[in-house]
Amino acid sequence: MKAWEDLVGTALLGTRRRTLDPAAQPPAVRHLIAGHGDPAEQLLSAAAVLTSYRRAGRQPLHDVRPLPVAAVDDRPFVPPLARERLGRLLAASHPDLLLEWLGIVAGTAYRVPPETLPLLAEAARTKTALRAPLVAVAGPAGAWLGQRNPDWSFLSAPDGDQADVWQYGSLAQRRRWLAAKLGEDPDGAREALTASWKSEPADVRADFLGVLAGHVRPQDEAFLEAALTDRAAAVREQAADLLGRIPGTRYGQGMAERLRPLVHRRNRVLTVALPQGERGDGTVRLRTLVAAAPLSFWAEFGPPAEVVRMTVEGCPAGVLRDSWATAALRQRDETWAQALIGADPGGRTTPPLLGVLGPAGQAATVGHLIGRLPVESFARLVHELPRPWTKELGTALLDWIARQDDHRLVSHAAVVIARAVPPECLRHPLATTRLTMDAGPWRRALTETLNFRREMYEELA
């Protein structure tokens, strides 16, 4: 539009250096500015008219088809108090509490009001953990929005029964399809995964193995053995981890046979030689062998609690203990997990190993660690405890923090505890006992968060 370009150029240079050319303007504008002798007035009048035209001067549309209407959703909206709390969560930007709130609603027969969906979708755009529960509570209205905004396309995931989702869906849609299919039709899901495996990028192959992790079974041994030769290290690592979860595999037995000549015991000394004559660093190879071999291999050298406390020669003791921890995590062996935690309670493998233990054993072990570790060390450990927490563990941690004095690390641990304890712990005395006037800020924040979460559940009960 030459008239607009001329007007902008004149405005940038100023009317002292350049005047507006009336001939470049439309006839209506020329007529309007003809009565103005001042170049500045001419420029401003022309700008006002042309700006209004650019904003509103459009030819009427023809053959306009109205947008389709979202499918009917008969579910009731969340109660008024819950709706008000949702507004507070969105305004305060607490994604962890918002995730919990959406999870509660997803387990009910409620849906969220449609006017809140844009803000929720925008929050889920950057926080992917919010997407699955949001899809459940948004319903057809959310799918309608997702079809019209590419940034919110996760709301309009295709129906999992459609045959083309696996071939043409986005990565997130394919992951959801695979996870659902593994639960509903395990054989069909594995057939689809095997058929497309070689054509998938390396990061996608590793991602799909992560989805398979929750459904691995002995019949997957051959598939996972083939994945051990994958070009991508991330895929090989995932495959080795999943094979370690299957008892009695050829892979595990083979690793045990290669490890056997390297290990000897003499009195209280465990000698472990590094593998020789193999490609790669001997320490790395030893990690692979120990992590992949069945933990029953070590039974001939003594019970776990005794073996992990032996003096180690021939290899770094830390390498051996870390590899034992990897094996215990893969094989979900509680006896070895207890032994390794007892041998090094403040070690970096303690938090994940606690996740191997059952509810009672976990709570008992945490109670033991409270007595053995300094307050600062235990406060750091709280941040790394695997979730979700059981009622027993949550109660033990609330009891611990109730006894603590003001400390920076304790206050940080209090934030984690307040948001991670399960719903069964939200009526703990910390939440129901009136605080004294001299209570520290972190203790008040802990109580407020516990009560906030308890009210969330009560409003949606």
pLDDT tens, 366-399? 999 999 999 999 999 999 999 899 999 999 999 9
Same-domain status, 30 and 119: no
Whole-number Å distance between alpha carbons of 135 and 201: 27
Residue 66 belongs to some domain of the structure: no
The verdict on residue 36 lying in a domain is yes
In a domain, 74, yes or no: no
416 and 443 part of one domain: yes
Question: Which pair of tokens denotes residue 390?
Answer: 């059981």
With the CA atoms of 81, 84, 86 and 89 taken in that order, what torsion angle do they form, in degrees rounded to the nearest 10?
A: -120
In the sheet with 263-266, reading across from the earlier edge strand, the strands are 263-266, 269-272, 311-313
- Are 241 and 252 contained in the same domain? no
Query: Which of 446, 455, 460, 337 is CA-nearest to residue 398?
Result: 446
Domain boundary among 106, 124, 156: 156
Average pLDDT over residues 402-410: 89
Task: List helix spans (H) across 213-358.
Answer: 221-227, 233-244, 250-259, 282-292, 304-307, 317-331, 334-343, 350-354
Residue range 116-120: mean pLDDT, rounded? 95
Q: Is residue 416 part of a domain?
A: yes
User: What is the model's pLDDT at position 280?
Assistant: 53
Angle CA 439–396–454, to nearest 5: 65
**In the chain, pLDDT over 70 holds for what percent of residues?**
97
- Based on the domain organization, do 200 and 182 belong to the same domain? yes
Clarify whether residues 151 and 214 are in a common domain: no
Regarding whether 391 and 379 lie in a shared domain, the answer is yes
How sure is the predictor about 1, in pLDDT bands with cuts at 50, 70 and 90? low
Question: Residue 160 — very low, low, confident or very high, per pLDDT cuts 50/70/90?
Answer: very low
Helices 359-372 and 334-343 pack at an angle, to 10 degrees, of 0
pLDDT in tens, 270-282: 999 998 865 558 8
| Contact indicator for 264, 271 with CB cutoff of 8 Å | yes
Res 158 pLDDT > 70:
no
Q: Quick one: 274 and 370 in the same domain?
A: no
315 or 35, higher pLDDT: 315
- The reported pTM is 0.76
Total structural domains in the chain?
A: 5
Same-domain status, 459 and 362: yes
| pLDDT at 61 exceeding the cut of 80 | no
Question: What residues are paired with 311 via a beta bridge?
Answer: 269
Looking at residue 157, its pLDDT comes to: 60
Residue 133 inside a domain? The answer is yes
The pLDDT tens digits of the residues spanning 416-461 come to: 999 999 999 999 998 888 877 777 889 999 999 999 999 999 999 8
Give the tens place of pLDDT for each residue, 294-304: 999 999 999 99
User: Domain of 101?
Assistant: 80-156
Report CA torsion sign: 236, 242, 244, 246: negative
Task: State residue 201's pLDDT score.
Answer: 94
**Surface-to-core class of residue 414, CB atoms within 10 Å of its CB (0-12 exposed, 13-18 middle, 19+ buried):** buried
Which of 238-253 are b and which e, b meaning 16 or more Cβ less than 10 Å from the residue's Cβ?
bbbbbbbbbeebebbe
Average pLDDT score over residue span 169-174:
81
Q: How far apart are CA 335 and CA 68, in angstroms?
A: 60
Q: Over 90: is that where the pLDDT of 268 sits? A: yes
Contacts of 337 (CB under 8 A, 6+ apart): 328, 329, 353, 354, 356, 357
Q: Which residues contact 278 (CB under 8 A, 6 or more apart)?
A: 285
Task: Count the Cβ atoms, other than its own, within 10 Å of residue 284.
Answer: 14
How many angstroms separate the CA atoms of 242 and 347, rounded? 24
Which pLDDT band, with edges at 50, 70 and 90, does 6 fall under? confident
CB neighbour list of residue 266: distance below 8 Å, 6 or more residues apart:
none
Burial class (CB in 10 A: 0-12, 13-18, 19+), 18: middle
Which two three-digit tokens encode residue 452?
A: 């906030």
Query: Tokens at residue 22, please?
Result: 């009336």
Map tokens 């304890």 to a residue.
421
Tokens of 98: 């918002």
Q: What is the mean pLDDT of residues 328-342?
A: 96
- Examine residue 338 and state whether it is found in any structural domain, yes or no: no
The whole-angstrom separation of Cα 163 and Cα 185 is 13
Q: Which of 332, 349, 382 is the last residue of a domain?
A: 332
The whole-angstrom separation of Cα 51 and Cα 36 is 19
Task: Return the bridge partners of 111, or none.
Answer: 77
User: How far from chain centre, in Å, is Cα 305?
Assistant: 35
Query: Do 362 and 461 share a structural domain?
Result: yes
Last residue of a domain, one of 138, 156, 174: 156
In a domain, residue 263? The reply is yes
**Do 319 and 374 belong together in one domain?**
no
Tens digit of pLDDT for each residue in 193-228?
999 999 999 999 999 999 999 899 999 999 999 999
**143/228 same-domain check:** no
Q: Which two tokens stand for residue 84?
A: 């008000």
> Is 91 contained in some domain?
yes
